[in-house]
Structure 1
């Protein structure tokens, strides 16, 4: 089974690129973030024509997550539990072929000196609670998405230049590690140890052309999922396409 996560930065604006990637990479499961559309306007027809089921949780112009699957999506969960007042569309979860998948768009948190950073940390705490609950089922779990966290300095092209950013704050990194410490594994790092490999490059300042990026898109695996991991990587091809998202897909392959 091939699965991938991709912040598409508007599913409608990137639809030609998304469809080209689906046709070429042929993921069994694709977890999308920043779809930026309400559910009734999600481009279902074009995606369903390629054999995918769709579980979407969107809102107008902002946020939005989805799971695309070639197999049935069972027991869907819409929204991250723990705060009924949170209306931002950042989390969706479902079971596919016995594996629990989540598509996650974690808050950015910038500027740090505003209410956005405490919201980010609070959201991460709720995610940790949910991640721990999922481990109790003792089945394979894949928590995938745009975490808006740079785990270590080796995951950013210019650690000093990014030191004040919410993505690199000690509190953000500690919250991310606390999820790993529950027993989850960073799928990319299991097979890829070289530093300075990225999944996001800003549109400004020639970041893509100069490989000035950060690694913020992650697939975290429960022990049962990690035991089935055969390969993982970053597919940088879509980032070089015309009208590309500023993110690129990160993928895994799991044994049946």
Structure 2
């Protein structure tokens, strides 16, 4: 018999291999096929194995649940609102590090430019600090980041070299903004790379896929949500405003 399960917490091929090995080692499991992009595992077993047994075989990093494609029962329909509330609370909790980082970057940019106040310098410093901080987290796990990034970025899917150099592109852009070097070029590159990523993020959200956002690398586990779309949009809007100011 074969059953399909949803597994969260996987960020790279190393995770996929580890999950496959752990599940294959369970008595009664005949074969395991893990799909990293879909965050699913198809397990062939000789007899029914409980979720608790499967979960105990995995580390705390991963969570496994059975994929239920059948229509929900009446009881499930009654319970759905409370489940949705719990999911939203959990999502907000997971996104707290992202909001915290945005808050720090915003406060730092304001303090740097409040006397005398300069909206232009504020945006340049915000973008510079954004890139520096976000590239730092990506560089913490340079091996794991490319695998997570290619799951939703269209260019990273077709160009392996791009997903490997992306953290360094962000680092270089951060330096250019903070040092006020080649700002027009940095703004154009920002619109291009974030525009491409936003297309991938939008597709993921519309398809309602459950994958991990790689905006903060793999050090912090963040779900792909509207917040990812919003953070890219903020940067793109700032880049457009700065380009208009530059060429007016």
User: TM (normalized to structure 1)?
Assistant: 0.25
* Larger Rg belongs to: 2
Structure that is richer in helix per residue: 2
